[in-house]
Structure 1
Amino acid sequence: MPLSVTGRETRPRQRLGHGLRTVSDIAKLAGLLAFVSGAALTLGSDGASAQAAGQSDRGQARKAAAPKSAVAPKAAAQPAPAPTGKPAERLLVEAAELIYDNDNNTVTARGNAELHYGPRTLQADRVRYDRASSRVFAEGNVRLTDETGAVVTGDTMELTDDFRNGFVDALRIQQTVEMRGQPVRTRFSAPRGERVDGEQTTFESGTYTACEPCKNNPETPPLWQVRAAKIIHNNETHIIGFEESTLEIAGIPVGYLPYFEAPDPTVKRKTGFLTPRFITSTALGSGISTPFFINVAPNFDITLTPSFLSEQGILGQGELRHRLDTGTYTIRASGIFQTTPSAFLPGPLGAGDRDFRGSIETTGQFYINDRWRTGWDVVGVTDKWFLDNYRVRNSSITTDYFREAVSTAYLIGQGDRSWFEARAYYFKGLSSYDWQKEQPVVAPVIDYDKRINGPGFLGGEVRFEANITHLDREATDFQAIPRTGSYYFNPTVNGTTYSLYETCTTFTRSTCIIRGLSGSNTRASAQLSWRRTFIDDAGQVFTPFAYLRTDAFFVDPRNSGYQNALAQTISTTDSDFSGRVMPAVGLDYRYPFVSNFGPLGVHTLEPIAQVVIRPSETHIGRLPNEDAQSLVFDDTSLFEWDKFSGYDRVEGGVRTNLGAQYSVVTPSGWYANVMFGESIQVAGVNSFRRGDLANVGLDSGLERRESDYVGRFQLSPNQNISFVTRARFEQRDFTVNRLETGVIARLNPFAPIDLSMFYSYYAAQPLLGFNNRREGLTASATYHITPNWFVTGSALVDLTHYLDVRDNFANAYTSYLANPVGAAPVYTNPGRANLAGLSIGGGYQDECTTFSLNYIVSPTAAALGVTERNRTVLLRVELKTLGEVDLRQNVNIASTADGIAATR
């Protein structure tokens, strides 16, 4: 046990209880612990007054016999009595020694004094209580930790007798808060601080930062700090006010505000203004958005964002978020009465004929119980250009090239081995190529999936799947193959002819694809399947399987009202009901050969063979195909029972799938895998040779009896490097028809570099609308100059000029139709490489600061209808706990976006 040494005697270190002579003495010292938190002081326990009186009597007797100054040993701490009605709380004091100065009427705890009162702890070299002035002093390395974990340090602390007012010299406060799941440590400091009424702390000539001090030189100014003549921190309202404040970067002043205030770091939500956003646009002019956040309740808030635009007036935006016991919902709305509608083209190519434009979106998700939930994501817009023209954020917009806003509502249930989902969809086309009457309304889409153990001797797994889909479309969705001989429907608006959407005068597979038929289409599908795996003594793996698929279709075509070709050339004009049944049996066989070569790893060679026996598919081309248009034949689909991606098509005939894979896993962490195979149509009609209205199956690599070869190669020397290649080769001459290869690598510890590179090649598929090959390369790299500084860059190379050719042809054809002079443009591809996208930048990141600057060149989305690249500068600065600024500036020299008048 540590010892306390005085001038004449050595005493064991003990808990202090009897050294303080009255309840008031204990209370005065304990109250010091409430200095920062301002907590009410409650001490003692019931029935302790007699003990306190006894302590006082012994103290008086000691006073009569002792010299003017005495040193008392420490003893076990005892609970002190508390005022009537106050809850009990123990005060524990540790110190090397306790000194009574009876002449000066003081009591001093000296030598690593440590006081524990509830969740608060005070540490100091010396703590002195002056009974005459009713003041308490803590001196030397004073450190106070409150119940929140905040640490207050100073050279001295001085408190008044009610412990709600006082001063601290060389004040420093440190507190850890959480931001985005990461701890951030904040720091206040001042030569002197004052506390008033236990609620407000004032820092004279104070500083605030979230940066760690330099380890080698703590006196060096932090990366950033706010220095103010006065910092006022109100612990009740949790607001920090800065008077005559200056923002310093590395000790250099860079900004000044006479006064500003912000919530302290403990506040997660607070009513007030958010970071403004600046706007510059040809059609909108210059402007600023000023978001104002309203914290209605802990589970309910509203954000109002007026945007003041020099060309168009005031754009109003609002967002409401509400979290309830069973779920949450949001409502986001925006709108503007345009002061200069002529800045945009008139309809149908723009919204220049509209005074009011706006949008509304609502999302929600609610849990009915632990198995069922329901929700929605619904968006409505006045026109398809609004979200882009006014840069309105919307979560329902798809991010692919042909953008659309998808509205959906759903009901989902999940059991231990079952799944139910019912949805409805509405698609709003946002591309310049979209005609809304070609977009379907899909309601409902119902899916059910249930798996159970096979009964009795069958064993294995039995699975039941069902799907019901109904959709309506006003006009047939045509896609003309881009070549001379394709025809467009061109309405006249204000005497000018425009190309709005594609059509075909006569439907032929070489010139036109039909993505969806007009009218009402309903399909109900069900599939019952069984499979079971057997492994014999030799290690051979046999998996027999069987399934029965049934489909019922009801088609009600709509063939009049629009001049987009006669649907009679495709289907009948009468309502039609038809059915389809597809039974199948099959066997999957695998025989893995495994060898362990010690340090060279475990090697596995696995031949695979699969046969599926079923009748031929019926009604090919006579039934709509809405959900099975995405057919990709590669290593991932080689051993699928049915290679179509949806229910509208079903694979038929007898087919054999053959392949093998080889893998290696070493003790050092190496992993490699090679797979190769092909598919053979043995008997019956090849479903992929008979293309439907969308030509699905043609140019897929499966349309011949012997398919293309497919393969995969994966290599991962360690957890930092991953390489994968997938390819499809022409069966007759091994020509590459599809190739995707990429590598992701972190070169640490050899070099502070992260890099990735992906290359893709797709051969021409003229029957699917791709007359030329598509080939591209994307690469990105980040170099960490130091643990904090980095530079980064990426590039997208269009190796065949495909993107430019596609957009140039569409725009050239539209211009020709507006002024049909000379010959119509022909879809050609020069095959030149083109830098389609570029990003370069750099930044800095540490525990308190994030900074990044990027220059980005990217392909323009189809929704904008322009061929020029987007050129944008992005600047982001975040001073953690203080705020962040995001600036985005378009630096195109000239840009005419779809819906924006060229004269502006």
Structure 2
Amino acid sequence: MASGVRRIKRLAAATALVTTLAPVLGWTSLAYAQAPAGSKPGERMVVDARELVYDKDNNTVSAVGDVQILYQGRTIEADRVVYDRQSKRVVATGNARITESNGTVITGDRFNLTDDFRDGFIDSLRVVNTDKTRFSAPRAERTDGEVFVFDKGIYTACEPCVDQPERPPFWQVRAARIIHKKAEQMIYYEEARLEFAGVPIAYIPYMSGPDATVKRKTGFLAPKFLNTSALGYGFSLPYFINLAPNYDLTLTPTYLTRQGFLGQAEWRHRFVNGSYNIRAAGIFQQDQKAFLASPFGAGDDKFRGSVETSGKVFLNPRWNFSWDVAAATDRFFFKNYRIRSESITASTYLQESTSTVSLNGQTADAWFDMRGYYFQPLTYYDWQKQQPIVGPVVDYNKRIHKPSMIGGELSFTVNITNLTREAASYKALTPNDQRYLIATPSYSLFDGCAVYQKNQCLVTGLAGSIARATAEVDWRRNFIDPIGQVWTPYASVRADVFSINPNTTKYANTNVATIADPSDEVFGRAMPAVGLMYRFPFIASTSWGTHIIEPVAQVVARPNETNSLRVANEDAQSLVFDDTNLFEWNKFSGYDRVEGGSRANVGLRYSGTFGKEAYANLLVGQSYHLGGRNSYASGDLVNTGLNSGLDTRRSDYVAKAQFQPFKGLLLQAGGRFNESTFETQRADASATFSYKFLSTSIGYSRYEPQPDLGITRRREGLSISQSVSFAQYWSVRGNVLFDLDKYKYDRERYRDALALYQQYPASYSNPIYPNTGPFQTASASVGLRYQDECTIFDVSYSQSYADRQAGSTKDTRTVMFRLELRTLGEISYSQNLGATSTGDGVASSSR
């Protein structure tokens, strides 16, 4: 053995050996006996290695072979670790690796560190954080135990390719220097460029962002872009201000090349028992001519803006108070300036902003809700005076399980509704007369009823003040006899009080006084009911499945419904008779109407299971009016109940079937069929299939006309949607909706236009015959998506085609783009192509 060198080889557990001999060797920094300077008292260092080499001449101590050192929660591993006692530096070489206390793993070819492993230089560095983000650099320096400086560094949140780890990740940021300051929780990039698959696509001289440990931090958010004909090109850069852990402010200035600066701000505040936010937006328009003049747009307004607030406060464990309120200077502001609002409810063509305030309480067996509503339409063809202001609406329900003496379940229900409306809302029973529509511009505000006539118009909303209070108590109980029959007796009593004060003010040619008595009217209604439901399930097991067949019968006896024509039906206008409400005691959807007369509902249920994954369900049934006045044959101001399939003594048949032959394929079909001819009145069918890379669905619906409800045209449609994963991380999707009956309506419109042309050839052009077939596209979209562990890329195109009967006179085409890089941010962009939909308030020259 060379002079001054002593070698100690592992004889037993290396840790025990080092612990025993370290004091003898004088290895006070790598041994347990003494921790490095600045350490807390009592902290120990544990060393595990195949061999320890003590060199007195060079004043070094080396650990050689499978070295593992544990200190202050850090673990260092290497083939060889040399400690220079004089410089107090530790040099680790050969498969060097440090695992931090938080799980971060640092690897490199050579570590040159201080004796507490906090600071030093690392060659060929690679850092893998616990959130799977990665840094790498030819050389890096760590100072103060928390600042990493990566020279010629690379950052990515993507995992390396398993088969080709040397291949560049999907995206990475390469910079001259990357500085990670853990105390600030920030990462700074100098002379950075963003690369995709190793190809540079963007150069950024300087940028910074929070590291993955940050949940909230002051700074800029991802930029946003937009482009519309009325606004021009727009760019916004949100700035987030983290004022405190429980409240913050986001400022979003947006520059629009045609309209100037749009300012937006959002305040969020979370406290012990709730949270709320306030959002505001405003702009002084530079080019007002981009928008139509009032009432078809906001071109007359210089300043436009909105204020919104929403929140929820938990008053105690059972009660909470919430609100969602929005107000804008005009109905077009949200759509024109692409303001995202939580209050907006949307369908294909109709949009409105709904503001609501509510108080809610709930226990295990009781529920209370009181709220109010304000509706603001967002298109010019909806009239604000026809929108109701609703409040309060009070709902209360209390259930008592197994009450003494009678058993079963006792339920109490209360509803109070009050609303006001300035102008009555109408709907025509016959299609709009094109000539009258052209001659009378206000005609559309009344949906074809510029002058109310009882047999030609439906009143979808009565002007004036309307109030109703409803209270109901019901009881039911199940009895099972010795042979398995289930008997459920039922009893209820309900009382309603109405107060109707019609408004006789005239708007345009509309005379509300012809609809109802203009004097205040208070009247009541009572509805007791008794009933019995019977079920008798039969169970059979066969070699190929288990089957349950259950005949169901229900009888309800009640007196006649009263005052149906005096009731302003506001909340029970929708009635669809199908399998879901066949056995409902009252099939009306709201409180304003109540089922009267005696009725029997009968049906047959079947359910079967076949193996582990296959099953089938079937329900077929019919309802019979036994006596008294049929409520569904007694129309109200909107003719609810007529053409419903329940307005005859024997109702239409309803049926619903489901069948899953194997996992991934589900077939469903349901409908309503004429009680005498079995002709289809309503039909819905769908098939969905999903297996590995393929997902597809097909849906078909067909609804026959309901002339008493003002629906004179059959509605028939076919939808097809599909998604295919054609490569790892890549998928393509598409869907199309066909209006199978629109071509008939187009030809009817052609005949009307031709008649106008023949009568007024100087005023109208000769229309072109619509040579189209049944498969007319109502809407279509296609999209491409890439998604892996670090990236989401999505681009899509959608188009909705003009349908004047549904409220749209122009096609709408939209392209949307979204790119999200994990930990860096998200960029999204949408662009309308060509004309936009009618009712948006944009001047045609801007489209």
TM-score class, shorter: over 0.9
Give 1:42's aligned residue: none
1:241, distance to aligned residue in structure 2 (A): 1.7
Give 1:51's aligned residue: none
Q: 1:561 to 1:806 in 2, by over 3 A?
A: farther
Q: Is the 8 A contact 1:875 1:886 kept in 2?
A: yes
Q: Is the 8 A contact 1:865 1:898 kept in 2?
A: no
Q: Is the 8 A contact 1:463 1:530 kept in 2?
A: yes
Aligned partner of residue 688 in structure 1, secondary structure: helix
* CA offsets 1:681-709 (integer angstroms, 9 cap, x no match): 01000001011001100111111111111
Is 1:729 aligned to residue 673 of structure 2?
yes
Aligned with 1:891 (options 833, 836, 841): 833
Q: Is the 8 A contact 1:509 1:767 kept in 2?
A: no
Aligned with 2:52 (options 80, 85, 98): 98
Aligned partner of residue 398 in structure 1, secondary structure: strand
CA distance in 1, matches of 2:96, 2:829: 44
**Residue type at the aligned position of 1:94:** D
Give 1:669's aligned residue: 613
**Residue type at the aligned position of 1:483:** P
Is 1:565 aligned to residue 507 of structure 2?
no
Give 1:856's aligned residue: 798
CA distance in 2, matches of 1:163, 1:121: 9
1:799, distance to aligned residue in structure 2 (A): 1.1
The more displaced of 101-110 and 770-779 is 101-110
1:528, distance to aligned residue in structure 2 (A): 0.3
**Residue type at the aligned position of 2:655:** G
Give 2:470's aligned residue: 525
Q: 1:718 to 1:298 in 2, by over 3 A?
A: farther
Is 1:140 aligned to residue 55 of structure 2?
no
Give 1:241's aligned residue: 188
1:568, distance to aligned residue in structure 2 (A): 2.8
Q: Is the 8 A contact 1:459 1:532 kept in 2?
A: yes
Is 1:643 aligned to residue 643 of structure 2?
no
* Counterparts of residues 92-131 of structure 1 (less than 5 Å): 92-131=46-85
Give 1:250's aligned residue: 197
* Counterparts of residues 678-827 of structure 1 (less than 5 Å): 678-748=622-692, 752-801=693-742
Give 2:3's aligned residue: none
1:891, distance to aligned residue in structure 2 (A): 2.0
Aligned with 1:481 (options 418, 429, 432): 429
Aligned partner of residue 19 in structure 2, secondary structure: coil
CA distance in 2, matches of 1:583, 1:739: 35
CA distance in 1, matches of 2:382, 2:442: 17
Q: 1:228 to 1:622 in 2, by over 3 A?
A: same
CA distance in 2, matches of 1:472, 1:717: 53
**Residue type at the aligned position of 1:473:** R
**Residue type at the aligned position of 1:722:** L
Is 1:834 aligned to residue 776 of structure 2?
yes
* Counterparts of residues 578-657 of structure 1 (less than 5 Å): 578-598=523-543, 600-657=544-601
Q: Is the 8 A contact 1:487 1:503 kept in 2?
A: no
1:427, distance to aligned residue in structure 2 (A): 0.7
Give 1:182's aligned residue: none
Q: Is the 8 A contact 2:443 2:449 kept in 1?
A: no
CA distance in 1, matches of 2:836, 2:466: 46
**Residue type at the aligned position of 1:772:** R
Q: Is the 8 A contact 2:9 2:50 kept in 1?
A: no
CA distance in 1, matches of 2:99, 2:589: 62
Is 1:546 aligned to residue 521 of structure 2?
no
* CA offsets 1:788-810 (integer angstroms, 9 cap, x no match): 1111111111111189869989x
Q: 1:864 to 1:314 in 2, by over 3 A?
A: farther
Aligned partner of residue 900 in structure 1, secondary structure: coil
Is 1:212 aligned to residue 148 of structure 2?
no
The more displaced of 9-18 and 507-516 is 9-18
Give 2:324's aligned residue: 377
**Residue type at the aligned position of 2:650:** E
Is 1:153 aligned to residue 97 of structure 2?
no
CA distance in 1, matches of 2:218, 2:744: 47
Aligned with 2:414 (options 466, 471, 486): 466
Is 1:292 aligned to residue 276 of structure 2?
no
CA distance in 2, matches of 1:241, 1:807: 66
Aligned partner of residue 387 in structure 1, secondary structure: helix
Give 2:257's aligned residue: 310
Give 2:519's aligned residue: 574
**Residue type at the aligned position of 1:397:** I
**Residue type at the aligned position of 2:596:** G
* CA offsets 1:702-728 (integer angstroms, 9 cap, x no match): 111111110001012234222211100
Aligned with 1:275 (options 222, 247, 258): 222
Aligned partner of residue 623 in structure 1, secondary structure: coil
* Counterparts of residues 194-205 of structure 1 (less than 5 Å): 194-205=141-152
| Unpaired stretches in structure 2, ≥5 consecutive residues | 1-5
Aligned with 1:176 (options 130, 144, 155): 130
CA distance in 2, matches of 1:808, 1:139: 84
* CA offsets 1:243-269 (integer angstroms, 9 cap, x no match): 222222212222222222222222222
**Residue type at the aligned position of 1:798:** D
Q: Is the 8 A contact 2:226 2:829 kept in 1?
A: no
State the TM-score, normalizing by the size of structure 2: 0.92
Aligned partner of residue 344 in structure 2, secondary structure: coil
Give 2:209's aligned residue: 262
Q: Is the 8 A contact 1:491 1:499 kept in 2?
A: no
CA distance in 2, matches of 1:318, 1:807: 50
CA distance in 2, matches of 1:769, 1:9: 94
CA distance in 1, matches of 2:125, 2:745: 64
**Residue type at the aligned position of 1:572:** D
Q: Is the 8 A contact 1:550 1:579 kept in 2?
A: yes
Is 1:193 aligned to residue 140 of structure 2?
yes
1:82, distance to aligned residue in structure 2 (A): 8.5
Is 1:903 aligned to residue 842 of structure 2?
no
Aligned with 2:351 (options 395, 403, 416): 403
Give 1:43's aligned residue: none
CA distance in 1, matches of 2:514, 2:11: 111
Is 1:229 aligned to residue 159 of structure 2?
no
Q: 1:769 to 1:861 in 2, by over 3 A?
A: same
**Residue type at the aligned position of 1:838:** A
* CA offsets 1:220-250 (integer angstroms, 9 cap, x no match): 1111111122211111212212222222221
CA distance in 2, matches of 1:864, 1:676: 33
* Counterparts of residues 33-72 of structure 1 (less than 5 Å): none
Is 1:449 aligned to residue 403 of structure 2?
no
The more displaced of 770-779 and 231-240 is 231-240
Aligned partner of residue 342 in structure 1, secondary structure: helix
Q: Is the 8 A contact 1:722 1:745 kept in 2?
A: yes
Give 2:820's aligned residue: 878
1:470, distance to aligned residue in structure 2 (A): 0.8
**Residue type at the aligned position of 2:350:** F
* Counterparts of residues 510-521 of structure 1 (less than 5 Å): 510-521=455-466
Aligned partner of residue 549 in structure 1, secondary structure: strand
**Residue type at the aligned position of 2:137:** A
Q: 1:212 to 1:727 in 2, by over 3 A?
A: same
CA distance in 1, matches of 2:9, 2:582: 93
Aligned with 2:500 (options 555, 560, 573): 555
| Unpaired stretches in structure 1, ≥5 consecutive residues | 30-76, 178-184
The more displaced of 287-296 and 403-412 is 287-296
CA distance in 2, matches of 1:232, 1:273: 18
Q: Is the 8 A contact 1:503 1:564 kept in 2?
A: no
Aligned with 1:844 (options 779, 783, 786): 786
CA distance in 1, matches of 2:57, 2:93: 21
Aligned with 2:303 (options 344, 348, 356): 356
Aligned partner of residue 513 in structure 2, secondary structure: helix
1:205, distance to aligned residue in structure 2 (A): 1.4
Q: Is the 8 A contact 1:807 1:867 kept in 2?
A: no
